[in-house]
Amino acid sequence: MAATSRRRWPAHPLLVGALGATLLGFLVLPLPFLQKLQALAAGVCAQRPEHSYFMAGVQLPLEARMGGIFAGFLVGVLYLFWADRARAGLLPPPALQGLLLGFVVLLGLDGLNATLYDLGAPHLYAPQNALRLATGLLCGLAMALLAVPVLAAALWKDWDVEPSLARPGELLGPLCVLGMIQATTMAGVPLLLMPIALVIVAGLLGAFTVGNTYALVLLTRREGRATSWRDALNPLLGGLLVAFYELVALAALRAWAESALGARWPV
């Protein structure tokens, strides 16, 4: 009878309770909701106004490049679910891997150019938030399409023997979504402030969750155990819970560094 009762829970009660208490604490914190999103993301980048987009005079939670990375990551994860490839355990074919890695390299080159510009060294062009955002979006999409199959192969007992991306044409849909995010962010429409901010922070939590879930699966030696999404719920929710407190810890570290040491948070 006890075993039957336990099977009714889709996830461990203590884990569900911890997540519920965390969410409730976040919601009742006496700050405007957007300010809470900004605080949660504060430890990830410096949130410099000149590197950020504003909507209705309010700065988005992350700078253009970082916000692009995590928004792109969320688009990549959602695409894998939409395409029924969330359990795909193979990386894309070598040519497509090269294309995705090229997206990452583009972000690195744009960041290097910006660094050279800041140092007064020879550079190719003046940095622009539009390029920061665009290269971030492409990099985040690539990271999702390369990272999620690694997690799937570790998490699932019967992961799907197919790549996360099989043909270049499959990128068309995600790229169109990235274009929409780019255009709406640059347009600065006040009505879209909260949706864009939520996409950025959801992508931030999603990226941390994927990495944490992979680490938890390995640390607990539960590789290849999940046969259904119900089985996968505990490691995924555990990864999400750890992700939230990682972000809180990073934000607290930034606040301490800036107040106690007078240090500027790293770029």
Residue 24 belongs to some domain of the structure: no
Residue 96 lies inside a defined structural domain of this protein: yes
Domain that holds residue 118: 40-254
In a domain, 2, yes or no: no
Amino acid at 33: F
Is 4 part of any domain?
no
Our count of domains for the chain comes to 1
Please tell me the predicted confidence (pLDDT) of residue 165.
96
Q: Is residue 29 part of a domain?
A: no
- The answer to whether residue 247 is domain-embedded is yes
What's residue 103's pLDDT? Answer: 98
Q: Residue 8's pLDDT is what?
A: 60
Distances in Å between the Cα of 260 and the Cα atoms of 156, 253, 256, 263 are 45, 10, 6, 8
Amino acid 260: pLDDT: 79
Distances from the Cα of 249 to the Cαs of 42, 84, 164, 214, 246, in angstroms?
10, 34, 32, 20, 5
Please give the pLDDT value at position 265: 52
Contact 60, 132 (CB under 8 A): no
In a domain, 118, yes or no: yes
Q: What is the pLDDT along the chain (267 residues), one digit of tens a residue?
A: 444 444 567 788 888 899 999 999 999 999 999 999 999 999 999 889 999 999 989 999 999 999 999 999 999 999 999 999 999 999 999 999 999 999 999 999 999 999 999 899 999 999 999 999 999 999 999 999 999 999 999 999 999 999 999 999 999 999 999 999 999 999 988 999 999 999 999 999 999 999 999 999 999 999 999 999 999 999 999 999 999 999 999 999 998 888 877 655 554
Mark 62-92 as b/e (b = at least 16 C-beta within 10 Å): bbbbbbbbbbbbbbbbbbbeeeebbbbbbbb
For residue 83, tell me if it sits in a domain.
Answer: yes
